[in-house]
Amino acid sequence: MNIEKKILRPGDGQHFPLRGQTITIHYTGAFTNKTVFDSSRHRNQVYRFRLGLDQTIKAFDIFYQMSLREHIVIKVPWQLAYGELGLPNVVPPKTDVMFDLELLKID
């Protein structure tokens, strides 16, 4: 059960978020056929959360490995995404997904 990662733009290589820090990101979630199911970019609104405190899906632990301003695409197995239940009315149960992720700020 691995996450596949492709770097679109490297980060600064110096500033990496730590557990409990608040990070600001842009994301686009899509099914493996590239149909988008959610996007902060489409809403023109960044997403902020505290890293490592179970506020997001497990796959977002990838941010520990990202440096400031890094932009990646990941393919996520369902076990690290929305699991057996899925996300009601959005992501079906046991569905692999993809995310376009950009780390904008670390607080």
Q: Write out the catalytic residue numbers.
A: 27, 37-38, 57, 82, 99
In sequence order, which residues have a C-beta less than 8 Å from that of residue 105 and are 6 or more positions away? 23, 24, 68
Q: Which two tokens stand for residue 30?
A: 């899509």
Q: How many CB atoms lie within 10 A of CB 11?
A: 18
